[in-house]
């Protein structure tokens, strides 16, 4: 980020939330730039929803500070804790929270009426919000007459109607079926861009996070594991947890062999005696270095790939011995539709390989396993 | 991304911010509710404890000396304790049998007219033990009881049943508590996943084995909880023992307390010591009950009701139907018919004769000014108790379940506390408390109003809480995030969503207040007569036929008021859209 970057719109500083003696969150710190979408990603119980609710003012933190648009919403040091209704935010709830005793129109108009807007303005903004989510013709319906997807759209219209500058999303798509979820994902992203609204999004779904976010915060057990843009989170996981949670990975432990390092690559001798070349990504190797290789980045072929780098795996110069190529035996092959998952014996352990479509190697057959060193990433020392 | 977006324009936030120095409506309401609840509950309890420790000169207040002498004399009344334990235990066993059998039949078998029977099972609760005791006394008194008259007319000797015996009292108590046991045990059976039983059958276990090894262990904690709850209620029950036991000088602890207060000279400190002991025992039992219930709900996790698979019992189903129908017959139909039959006669006789029939009983009852006043007072108190009670318990329920204010657990505890204190004992403390209150409200309707609101806090709170907990919390949170103030949220979201619960609570409180006996009998004054104590008084001093007429008038008036209320609220609901 250049130094003249705009001031962060949402700032969370050393936020901690305790339930009695149990620390549910923290301390965590992160910030969201104006107009950007940040996603809190993690398994259930990792504290992501609690963090979001604390920002909304629905949960009382134990310490830290929350600032929105430069104004302090919560600060333990200064004894400030604005109630949710004075924070001027908007939120889409996991359960949609569409009020069943009101019509769609009344639901969407709520935030505007709270702000004592004129009848004409309410009318105009509700129409605009409903049109935005293509629910214009449902204005007079009662919430109980809507399907799940329609309720989701109304919840979205209601959250946007009073033009809030910050939108919070608490797993808004988790109650939709898979197909609808895919569609809504794209729609939400477009909407967010069109409105230029700063958003904070909570999900446990990796694809959702990767597809929708400008930046991702991966959380685990109330702490932040890694912050970064989607491609960096995916390509350069910082810890074993992120590597595994953000798409499945093989973790290879061993010791560094500086003597075999070349071309800017590091070399690691695995516990089974194999030499694996990989990238350090500027990270210092600790006492117990670990390389992470995604299951989809491993390749399995029947014939030995030659040193010319024809298969793209080895990038050594011609004539030189290709790196990261090993003869293996396929132990198990599981057909998963889009993918086939293969378990191969490799130096006294198993590696998992996922290849698209059907594998051309059967169970019990020998094959060659290869991996592009650029995809073998050194994890940060614990 | 452009830098201009968002940060400067925060519509609404500024306007809302400017009020930030005003204490929020929520905080103000919270503090008032906590103070009011604490005062209502703690103030009388304090005076009850004080009276029980008073060993100074009688009739001098505040007490001149404190000590435990009153408690030390309690063992001398061991006969009363034994009576209480005997009646309560017998009544609990019977009530549990009624409750378990009917709950099992209606939840687990394909009994005919299941829906109708299930609705009919709630009716005994509304008939109340007092009416039941009056009616069963007419049926089963050793000399004049209709059943014994019939027995002798058929050539029998003496009396076949004696309702004034300890077992007779227990029988009447059990009949009306049976419907409470039914609801509690039925809830346990409904919350059991039928897959647990099906799994046993799939593995080859027969129906009996499944019942013994799976069903029974699963429902045991729930039934045990119900047993403790029912037993605690029985210990504190008053009206059946008063009507049936007092004439033959058979006392249980509640009637003994009443006797000690009502006699001349009264023995207030001793009565207080008895009351405190009783409430200590009930408190411990209800504490155990809560522990059991809490642990059970922890294990089953989901509060969701399963649709149990119903056993096909073949022609046996008519027997099961007869069992349920008999219960409703004995607890509702027979008592009501008896009251109607008796109220229409000069002297209740099993063999009807034209000369014996009369409307005089109704005529004479309705011509008495005192009774007309009592009816008006009861209705007025009912409406006021229900209205104030709903507002107060509604706020308590919301604060307990939804707010983040500190001390909300304590608030729930305080509001549920009267559950553990028999109404008679509570009223006893209140009598003392309001006697010394600087504003002279003792002997007026106000003290009755305060008493009713206090003793029915648990009833209102339970009713409203159960509805509130079914309402998704995020519906209100969404209003919060939308920027609505507490008052606005209450008005536009919480109250409309809680409407069914608030109406149900209003009705329950109204019925309960009009029917209230234990607190009223101690607290009403000559100028604040209410109906139920008047009925009991008539029972002891007047003819039983006229008492029957009064009881029916009360039932009729309550029914009429309910019908009126239902029609009005329905119409309002329709107009409100």
Q: Which residue out of B7, B23, B497 would a mutagenesis test of the A interface target, given it has the greatest number of A Cβ atoms within 10 Å?
A: B7
How near does any CA of chain B get to the CA of A98, in Å? 7
Identify the residue with better confidence: B424 or A347: B424
CB B565 within 8 A of CB B502: no
pLDDT at B8 over 70: no
Closest by Cβ to B482, choosing from A6, A7, A111:
A111
Residue B509 CA: distances (Å) to CA of A328, B431, B449: 78, 22, 12
CB atoms within 10 A of CB A310: 10
Query: Cβ–Cβ of B484/A114 closer than 8 Å?
Result: yes
Pairing of strands A215-220, A223-228: antiparallel
How near does any CA of chain A get to the CA of B21, in Å? 11
Tell which A residues from 57 to 76 touch B, by Cβ distance under 8 Å.
57-58, 60, 69-70
Pairing of strands A249-256, A223-228: unpaired
Query: What residues of B are in the A interface, CB distance below 8 Å?
Result: 1-3, 5-13, 15-17, 20, 24, 404, 472, 474-475, 477-486, 488-489, 492-493, 496-497
> Tens digit of pLDDT for each residue in A32-45?
999 899 999 998 88
Query: Cβ–Cβ of A57/B492 closer than 8 Å?
Result: no
Can you give the residue ranges of every domain in chain A? 1-89+194-235, 248-378
* DSSP symbol at B111: -
Q: How would residue B295 be classed by pLDDT, with cut points 50, 70 and 90?
A: low
Query: Cβ–Cβ of A198/B13 closer than 8 Å?
Result: no
CB A327 within 8 A of CB A342: no
CA-closest candidate to residue A293, choices A283, A304, A279, A282: A279
**Angle between helix B544-576 and helix B369-402 axes, rounded to 10 deg:** 50
Name, in order, each residue with C-beta under 8 angstroms of B33's C-beta and a sequence gap of 6 or more: B392, B395, B396, B399, B411
Q: Which residue out of B2, B3, B4, B5 would a mutagenesis test of the A interface target, given it has the greatest number of A Cβ atoms within 10 Å?
A: B5
When pLDDT is averaged across residues A40-68 and rounded to a whole number, the result is: 91
How near does any CA of chain A get to the CA of B140, in Å? 53
Q: How would residue B96 be classed by pLDDT, with cut points 50, 70 and 90?
A: very high
Which chain A residues touch B478 with a CB distance below 8 Å? 91, 93, 97, 99, 158
Rounded to whole angstroms, the Cα distance separating A147 from A104 reads 12
Give the range among A161-165, B303-307, B356-360 with minimum mean pLDDT. Answer: B303-307
Query: Cβ–Cβ of A111/B6 closer than 8 Å?
Result: no
Query: Cβ–Cβ of A110/B479 closer than 8 Å?
Result: yes
- Taking the C-alpha atoms of A125, A131, A136 and A139 in order, what is their torsion angle to the nearest 10 degrees? -30
Query: Cβ–Cβ of B11/A163 closer than 8 Å?
Result: yes
How near does any CA of chain A get to the CA of B393, in Å? 23
Query: Cβ–Cβ of A88/B16 closer than 8 Å?
Result: yes
Amino acid B308: pLDDT? 63
> Tens digit of pLDDT for each residue in B9-43?
344 343 333 344 455 777 888 888 999 999 899 98
The ipTM is 0.78
Amino acid A318: pLDDT? 45
How near does any CA of chain B get to the CA of A226, in Å? 23
When pLDDT is averaged across residues A351-357 and rounded to a whole number, the result is: 85
Amino acid A120: pLDDT? 92
Q: Chain centroid to CA B148: how far? A: 32
Closest by Cβ to A86, choosing from B2, B8, B20:
B20
> Tens digit of pLDDT for each residue in A282-297?
888 778 888 899 888 8
Amino acid B288: pLDDT? 85
The most confident of the ranges A188-192, B169-173, B219-223 is B169-173
Q: Which residue out of B406, B483, B496, B573 would a mutagenesis test of the A interface target, given it has the greatest number of A Cβ atoms within 10 Å?
A: B483
Query: Cβ–Cβ of A69/B7 closer than 8 Å?
Result: yes
Class of the CATH-defined domain B23-51+79-253+302-576: mainly alpha
Q: Which residue out of B482, B485, B494, B576 would a mutagenesis test of the A interface target, given it has the greatest number of A Cβ atoms within 10 Å?
A: B482
The most confident of the ranges A50-54, A267-271, B151-155 is A50-54
Amino acid B168: pLDDT? 93
Query: Cβ–Cβ of A196/B2 closer than 8 Å?
Result: yes
Class of the CATH-defined domain A1-89+194-235: alpha beta
Cis peptide bond prior to B265, omega within 30° of 0: yes
Rounded to whole angstroms, the Cα distance separating B79 from B208 reads 43
Rounded to whole angstroms, the Cα distance separating A297 from A377 reads 11
Q: Which residue out of A17, A32, A52, A58 would a mutagenesis test of the B interface target, given it has the greatest number of B Cβ atoms within 10 Å?
A: A58
When pLDDT is averaged across residues B482-505 and rounded to a whole number, the result is: 88
Query: Cβ–Cβ of B483/A60 closer than 8 Å?
Result: no
CB B419 within 8 A of CB B286: yes
Which chain B residues touch A35 with a CB distance below 8 Å? 1-2, 5-6
If you count residue pairs, one on A and one on B, with CB atoms under 8 Å apart, how many are there? 126
Amino acid B3: pLDDT? 39
How near does any CA of chain A get to the CA of B493, in Å? 7
How near does any CA of chain B get to the CA of A203, in Å? 17
Identify the residue with better confidence: A143 or B252: B252
Long-range interactions of A229-238: CB distance < 8 A, separation 24+: A234/A210, A235/A375, A235/A377, A236/A281, A236/A377, A237/A292, A237/A377, A237/A379, A238/A379, A238/A380
How near does any CA of chain B get to the CA of A24, in Å? 17
Closest by Cβ to B472, choosing from A84, A91, A97:
A97
| Topology of the domain covering A248-378 | OB fold (Dihydrolipoamide Acetyltransferase, E2P) (2.40.50)
Q: How would residue A311 be classed by pLDDT, with cut points 50, 70 and 90?
A: very low
What is chain A's mean pLDDT, rounded?
A: 85
Q: Chain centroid to CA B385: how far? A: 15
> Tens digit of pLDDT for each residue in A243-254?
888 778 888 888
- Percent over 90 (pLDDT), chain B: 32
Query: Cβ–Cβ of B482/A94 closer than 8 Å?
Result: no
Query: Cβ–Cβ of B11/A88 closer than 8 Å?
Result: yes
When pLDDT is averaged across residues A200-214 and rounded to a whole number, the result is: 90
Closest alpha carbon within chain A to B486: A85
A114 touches chain B (CB under 8 A): yes
Amino acid B190: pLDDT? 78
> Tens digit of pLDDT for each residue in B298-320?
343 334 455 666 777 778 889 99
How near does any CA of chain B get to the CA of A177, in Å? 21
Query: Cβ–Cβ of A114/B482 closer than 8 Å?
Result: yes
Give the range among A167-181, B10-24, B213-227, B408-422 with minimum mean pLDDT. Answer: B10-24
How near does any CA of chain A get to the CA of B3, in Å? 6
Query: Cβ–Cβ of B474/A97 closer than 8 Å?
Result: yes
Can you give the residue ranges of every domain in chain B? 23-51+79-253+302-576
Closest alpha carbon within chain B to A99: B475
Closest alpha carbon within chain B to A80: B20
Amino acid A317: pLDDT? 46
CA-closest candidate to residue B516, choices B496, B531, B497, B538: B531
Amino acid B575: pLDDT? 61
Tell which A residues from 203 to 262 touch B, by Cβ distance under 8 Å.
none
How near does any CA of chain B get to the CA of A229, in Å? 15
Q: How would residue B576 be classed by pLDDT, with cut points 50, 70 and 90?
A: low
Which chain B residues touch A91 with a CB distance below 8 Å? 477-478, 481
Rounded to whole angstroms, the Cα distance separating B365 from B377 reads 16
Query: Could you give the residue ranges of the DSSP H alpha helices within chain A?
Result: 48-56, 104-114, 119-132, 148-161, 178-195, 206-212, 230-235, 240-245
Amino acid B577: pLDDT? 43
Closest by Cβ to B9, choosing from A57, A60, A165:
A165
> Tens digit of pLDDT for each residue in A173-191?
887 888 888 888 888 888 8
Query: Cβ–Cβ of B488/A166 closer than 8 Å?
Result: no
Identify the residue with better confidence: B533 or A263: B533
Closest by Cβ to A88, choosing from B404, B479, B483:
B483
Query: Cβ–Cβ of A110/B12 closer than 8 Å?
Result: no
């Amino acid at each position: 980020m250049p130094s003249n970057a705009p001031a962060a719109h949402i700032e969370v500083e050393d936020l901690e939330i305790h339930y009695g003696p149990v620390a549910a969150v923290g301390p965590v710190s992160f910030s969201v730039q104006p107009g950007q979408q940040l996603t809190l990603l993690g398994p259930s119980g990792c504290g992501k929803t609690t963090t979001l609710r604390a920002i909304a003012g629905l949960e009382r933190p134990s310490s830290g500070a929350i600032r929105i648009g430069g104004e302090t919403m919560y600060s333990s040091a200064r004894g400030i804790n604005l109630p949710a209704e004075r924070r001027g935010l908007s939120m889409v709830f996991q359960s949609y929270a569409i009020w069943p005793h009101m019509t769609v129109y009344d639901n969407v108009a709520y935030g505007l009426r709270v702000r004592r807007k004129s009848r004409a303005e309410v009318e105009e903004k509700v129409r605009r919000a409903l049109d935005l989510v293509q629910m214009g013709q449902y204005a007079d319906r009662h919430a109980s007459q809507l399907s799940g997807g329609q309720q989701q759209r109304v919840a979205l219209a209601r959250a946007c109607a009073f033009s809030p500058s910050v939108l919070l999303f608490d797993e808004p798509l988790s109650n939709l079926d898979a197909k609808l979820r895919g569609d809504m994902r794209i729609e939400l992203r477009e909407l967010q861009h069109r409105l230029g609204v700063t958003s904070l999004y909570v999900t446990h779904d990796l694809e959702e996070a990767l597809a929708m976010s400008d930046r991702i915060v991966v959380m685990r057990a109330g702490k932040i594991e890694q912050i970064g843009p989607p491609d960096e989170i995916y390509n350069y996981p910082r810890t074993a947890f992120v590597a595994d949670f953000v798409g499945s990975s093989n973790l290879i432990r061993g010791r560094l062999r500086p003597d075999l390092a070349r071309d800017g690559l590091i070399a690691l001798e695995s516990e089974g005696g194999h030499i694996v070349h990989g990238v350090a990504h500027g990270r210092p190797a600790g006492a117990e270095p670990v390389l992470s290789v995604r299951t989809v980045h491993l390749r399995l072929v029947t014939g030995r790939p030659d040193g010319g780098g024809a298969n793209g795996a080895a990038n050594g110069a011609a004539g030189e011995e290709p790196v990261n190529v090993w003869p293996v035996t396929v132990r198990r092959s599981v057909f998963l539709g889009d993918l086939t998952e293969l378990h191969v014996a490799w130096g006294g352990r198993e590696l998992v390989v996922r290849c698209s479509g059907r594998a051309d190697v059967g169970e019990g057959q020998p094959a060659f396993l290869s991996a592009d060193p650029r995809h073998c990433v050194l994890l940060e020392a614990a | 991304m452009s830098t201009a977006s968002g940060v400067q324009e925060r519509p609404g936030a500024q306007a809302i911010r400017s009020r930030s120095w005003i204490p929020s409506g929520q905080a103000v309401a919270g503090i008032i509710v906590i103070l009011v609840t604490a005062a209502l509950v703690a103030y009388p309890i304090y005076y009850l404890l004080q009276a029980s420790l008073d060993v100074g000169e009688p009739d001098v207040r505040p007490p001149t000396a404190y000590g435990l002498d009153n408690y030390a004399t309690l063992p001398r009344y061991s006969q009363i304790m034994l009576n209480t334990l005997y009646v309560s235990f017998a009544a609990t066993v019977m009530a549990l049998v009624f409750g378990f059998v009917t709950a099992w039949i209606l939840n687990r078998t394909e009994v005919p007219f299941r829906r109708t029977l299930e609705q009919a099972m709630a009716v005994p609760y509304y008939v109340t033990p007092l009416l039941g005791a009056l009616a069963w006394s007419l049926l089963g008194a050793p000399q004049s009881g209709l059943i014994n008259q019939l027995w002798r007319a058929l050539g029998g000797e003496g009396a076949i049943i004696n309702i004034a015996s300890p077992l007779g009292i227990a029988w009447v108590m059990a009949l009306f508590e049976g419907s409470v046991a039914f609801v509690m045990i039925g809830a346990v059976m409904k919350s059991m996943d039928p897959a647990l039983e099906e799994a046993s059958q799939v593995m080859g276990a027969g129906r009996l084995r499944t019942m013994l090894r799976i069903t029974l262990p699963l429902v045991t904690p729930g039934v045990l909880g119900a047993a403790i709850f029912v037993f605690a209620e029985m210990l504190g029950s008053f009206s059946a023992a008063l009507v049936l036991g007092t004439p033959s000088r058979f006392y249980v602890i509640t009637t003994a307390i009443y006797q000690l207060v009502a006699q001349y000279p009264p023995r207030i400190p001793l009565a207080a010591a008895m009351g405190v002991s009783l409430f200590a025992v009930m408190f411990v039992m209800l504490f155990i009950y809560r522990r059991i219930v809490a642990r059970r709900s922890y294990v089953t996790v989901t509060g969701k009701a399963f649709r149990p698979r119903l056993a096909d019992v073949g022609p046996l189903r008519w027997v099961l139907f007869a069992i349920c129908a008999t219960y409703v017959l004995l607890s509702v139909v027979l008592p009501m018919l008896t009251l109607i039959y008796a109220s229409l006669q000069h002297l209740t006789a099993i063999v009807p004769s034209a000369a014996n029939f009369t409307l005089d009983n109704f005529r004479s009852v309705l011509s008495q000014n005192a009774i007309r006043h009592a009816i008006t007072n009861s209705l007025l108190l009912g409406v006021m108790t229900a209205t104030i009670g709903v507002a107060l318990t509604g706020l308590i329920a919301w604060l307990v379940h939804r707010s983040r204010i500190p001390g909300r657990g304590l608030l729930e505890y305080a509001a549920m506390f009267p559950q553990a204190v028999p109404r008679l004992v509570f009223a006893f403390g209140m009598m003392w408390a309001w006697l010394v209150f600087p504003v002279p409200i003792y002997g007026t309707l106000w003290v009755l109003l305060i008493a009713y609101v206090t003793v029915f806090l648990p009833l209102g709170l339970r009713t409203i809480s159960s509805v509130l907990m079914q309402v998704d919390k995020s519906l209100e949170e969404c209003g919060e995030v939308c920027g609505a103030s507490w008052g606005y949220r209450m008005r536009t979201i919480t109250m409309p969503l809680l409407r069914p619960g608030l109406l149900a609570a209003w009705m329950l409180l109204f019925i309960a207040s009009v029917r209230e006996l234990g607190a009223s009998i101690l607290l009403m004054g000559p100028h604040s007569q209410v109906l139920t104590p008047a009925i009991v008084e008539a029972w002891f001093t007047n003819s039983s036929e006229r008492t029957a007429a009064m009881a029916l008038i009360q039932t009729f008036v309550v029914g009429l008021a309910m019908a009126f209320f239902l029609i009005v609220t329905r119409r309002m609901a329709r107009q409100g859209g």
